[in-house]
Amino acid sequence: MSEEVLTLRGVVKEFDGKTILDGIDLTIRQGEVAVIIGPSGCGKSTLLRCINALEPIREGEILLQGEPIRAGAKNLPSLRQKIGMVFQSYDLYPHMTVMENITLSPRKVQKRDRREVEREAAELLARVGLSDKAESYPRQLSGGQKQRVAIVRMLIMQPEILLFDEVTAALDPEMVREVLDVMLELAHQGRTMLIVTHEMAFAQAIAHRIIFMDDGRIVEEGTPGQFFTKPQTKRAQEFLDRFRFDT
Amino acid sequence: MQALGLDVLFKGQNFIRLLGGLGVALRISLIAVVISIPAGVLLGTLMTKKNPVIRGILRFYLEFMRIMPQMVLLFLVFFGSTRSLGLDLSGETSAVIVFSLWGTAEMSDLVRGAITSIPRHQYDAAAALCLSERQTYYYIIFPQALRRLLPLSINLITRMIKTTSLVLMIGVVEIIKVAQQIIEANRMSSPNAAFGVYLTVFMMYFLACFPISMLARFLEKRFYE
Amino acid sequence: MNPEIIGQYLPLYGEAAILTVELGFLGVLFSAVVGLFCAAVLYLRVPILRQIVWIYIELSRNTPLLIQLFFIYYGLPKVGIRTTPAVCGVAGLTFLGGSYMAEAFRSGLEAVPKIQEESALSLGMTKAQAIRLVILPQAFSVSVPALVANVIFLLKETSVFSAVSLMDLMFTAKNLIGLYYDTTEALFLLVVFYLIILLPVGVLGTVLEKRVRYAGFGS
């Protein structure tokens, strides 16, 4: 078995007296692509935010390659560089060009050489088909293009694990595909990924493991083959039925 | 108390006299606000019309009123009216005229802003339902604009109260004048009176404006949520 | 109107205008510093300081500058704080302007979506880096219209400086009217000089506003 990249033990998160995460245990290994699905409000987005310490947790621990991640800790910026995260809303810096958006953190945080970083950024932009947009401002891009830039901006930090928080949920339908294709390619490169999504067909195609959450707990886990054809729990069954009804 | 000069306030009629001074300022503010609000609604509505002549004239009036310090406007009317029109206006009358003209300009801009913030499709929807222009304004536009307008026009009242302090500069008996008289009268017995009296005047203005500001903020929050 | 009289008064108004601009400029500058500090305290929710700043802002916004100046100039010397007219003018303008500038900066800071800070943090920045590189530049561009409006407002407010015996434009006009009865010329020059001071600021503001605006965040 390959190395454990991310380990969660008994993670509990409360907000306004409500329990959002109720004892999450989870291990993600090197090169694994895990997809979290579940109904709205089940805590899946909060889980990603806790892993990046954007939310403090009340109990349990989160380890990145054995090192604990805690909100407010001194070493947080250096740990966060190893975690790449892309959000649902387009969160590019509106006052900077695409190139500046991508190179800001490598230059200011990692203190890397400007020219080297710009060359790498240009290569990555070419890989996601946005070579001609380097000098554009975010407002000149479509939603799908912005999300691809956000992915590049995260990749250039050379993270150990990639977190995707419903990155296609705010996109127009015709732009979903271009973003998912980029993610599929990352999976084929053997990246370690943890994805929250509502795109069931995509989850089935990309995942090594499906994690089904409901009410702040992991209810069921399995390979896509198992989960989508023979879900073990009633709740997973009901959840999947809702999607089938649509089609 | 003596050291801070607050004692003079409790001598004789002094505190009542200070309140009376504030009363004159508040009376001027009140009259000016009562004139400004309807006049501002009228002019503000006219500003949203397409007629270029009316718009041009109103625009000039508004810009002039807003770029000139109110103190200059006060001088223009108080000193200028005698010379050019042969009128001998009292300080209080001049103040009412100036602050009404200024308040009208400010109010009309708030009204114009509130009306133009109503999206185009509201007019279209009203037209599609066969409402006349008057009905559209009366039933559709004004009620929506009012929600945005209310907190802003209440804020205008506090600005008006603060601005009327300027009438001291053209010699209208007013709160500051009264304060100066009290300080003069007690120069020997209470040398520190200036501190206490000016602090009191400061706090009086604060107490007059603060509740109104809070009301405006409360309404703003309620309407925007 | 007599052009000769106007020519004769011109230097007096020129001097007064320079005084107005100098004191106004200093007042605006210090107001911006005070405002930035107060906005930072409110934005970062610094305990205790936050309450003090709140009280200051309410006191400053709910009292007229004229009364603030009277208190500083005539009241404070009784408790041992003595100021010259010029210092008093700048101090009063700063006391007034600080709260207006604070509101302008604060609304700019709050207009920046939370996600901007979060994505900067998730890319390894410290909170200080996120504020400096990502949040402040965006907040500033939102604040510009309000900041320009404040500069014009504060320059206009300098017109009460004559109350603490500063020889500004109002003082000059009042003097000439009182001494020589050249009312028309004195008032004409008064209006012209305020236009000379205030119009360029207004125009500059409009230009600046257009240049720093990044039409709509992220959309």
**Residue B12, pLDDT above cutoff 80:** no
- Please judge whether B69 and C194 are an interchain contact, meaning their C-beta atoms are less than 8 angstroms apart: yes
Q: What angle do CA A4, A9, A15 make, to 5 degrees?
A: 130
pLDDT bucket at C2, cuts 50 / 70 / 90: confident
Task: State the residue range of the domain holding A114.
Answer: 90-158
- What is the radius of gyration, based on Cα positions, of chain B? 22
Closest alpha carbon within chain C to A98: C218
| Res C75: pLDDT | 86
Task: Select the residue of A84, A94, A109 nearest C214 (Cβ to Cβ).
Answer: A94
Q: What is the CATH number of domain C17-167?
A: 1.10.3720.10
- With a CB cutoff of 8 Å and minimum separation 6, the contacts of B199 are B4, B6, C71, C75
Give me the sheet containing A209-214, strands edge to edge: A83-86, A161-165, A193-196, A33-37, A209-214, A217-222
**Residue C219, pLDDT above cutoff 50:** no
Q: Hey, is the C-beta of C219 within 8 angstroms of any chain B C-beta?
A: no
Q: Hey, is the C-beta of C184 within 8 angstroms of any chain B C-beta?
A: yes
Contacts of residue A149 in chain C, CB cutoff 8 Å? none
From B154's Cα to the closest Cα of chain C, the distance in A is 13
SS3 A192: coil
| Res B173: pLDDT | 59
Provide, rounded to the nearest whole percent, the portion of chain B with pLDDT above 70.
Answer: 90
Residues of chain B with a CB closer than 8 angstroms to some CB in chain C: 4-5, 67-72, 75-76, 79-80, 82-84, 158, 162-163, 165-166, 168-169, 176, 179, 183, 191-192, 194-195, 197-199, 201-202, 205-206, 209-210, 213
Task: Select the residue of A80, A93, A139 nearest C116 (Cβ to Cβ).
Answer: A93
Nearest to A79 by CA among C122, C133, C115: C122
**Residue B70, pLDDT above cutoff 50:** yes
A161-165 and A193-196 as β-strands: parallel, antiparallel, unpaired?
A: parallel
E-state strands within chain C:
none
C104: its two tokens: 């302008």
Using the 8-state DSSP alphabet, how is residue B205 labeled? H
Structural domains counted in chain A: 1
Closest alpha carbon within chain C to A102: C123
Bigger pLDDT: A91 vs B21: A91
Q: Hey, is the C-beta of A54 within 8 angstroms of any chain C C-beta?
A: yes
**Residue B6, pLDDT above cutoff 80:** no
**Residue B148, pLDDT above cutoff 90:** no
Length of chain A: 247
Closest alpha carbon within chain C to B207: C62
- Please judge whether B162 and C162 are an interchain contact, meaning their C-beta atoms are less than 8 angstroms apart: no
Closest alpha carbon within chain B to C174: B75
Q: What angle do CA C43, A163, A21 make, to 5 degrees?
A: 75
Distances (CA, A) of A65 to A7, A218, C71: 8, 22, 64
Question: What is the rounded CA–CA span in Å between residue A146 and residue A130?
Answer: 10
Q: From the centroid of its chain, how far is CA A50?
A: 12
pLDDT bucket at C215, cuts 50 / 70 / 90: very low
| Res C82: pLDDT | 87
Best B75, B158, B186 member to test C by mutation, with max C CBs in 10 Å, is B75
From B206's Cα to the closest Cα of chain C, the distance in A is 5
Give burial (CB, 10 Å; 0-12/13-18/19+) of B44.
Answer: buried
What DSSP assignment string belongs to A46-98? HHHHHHTTSS--SEEEEEETTEE--TT-TTHHHHHTTEEEE-SS----TTS-H
Nearest to A43 by CA among A195, A220, A214: A214
Q: Place domain B6-224 in its CATH homologous superfamily.
A: MetI-like (1.10.3720.10)
| Res B102: pLDDT | 96
| Res C165: pLDDT | 81
pLDDT bucket at A186, cuts 50 / 70 / 90: very high
Amino acid of residue C87: V
Residue spans per domain, chain B: 6-224
- With a CB cutoff of 8 Å and minimum separation 6, the contacts of B15 are B9
- Please judge whether C160 and B166 are an interchain contact, meaning their C-beta atoms are less than 8 angstroms apart: yes
Q: Hey, is the C-beta of A205 within 8 angstroms of any chain C C-beta?
A: no
Distances (CA, A) of A230 to A223, A224, A238, B121, B125: 10, 10, 12, 51, 52
Using the 8-state DSSP alphabet, how is residue B49 labeled? S
SS3 A4: strand
Helix (H) or strand (E) holding A29: strand A18-29
Q: Which residues are A220's β-sheet partners?
A: A212
Task: Select the residue of B5, B71, B206 nearest C160 (Cβ to Cβ).
Answer: B71
| Res C218: pLDDT | 35
- Please judge whether C163 and B206 are an interchain contact, meaning their C-beta atoms are less than 8 angstroms apart: no
In a domain, A190, yes or no: no
| Res C216: pLDDT | 43
Distances (CA, A) of A103 to A99, A126, C130, C133, C140: 6, 15, 14, 12, 22
pLDDT, tens digit (0-9, with 9 covering 90-100), for C150-187: 999 999 999 999 888 888 999 999 888 888 888 888 99
Interface pTM (ipTM) of the complex?
0.86
| Residue ranges in chain A assigned as alpha helix (H) | 44-51, 76-80, 98-108, 114-127, 143-155, 173-188, 200-206, 224-229, 234-246
- Please judge whether C174 and B191 are an interchain contact, meaning their C-beta atoms are less than 8 angstroms apart: no
Q: What angle do CA C5, C9, C11 make, to 5 degrees?
A: 145
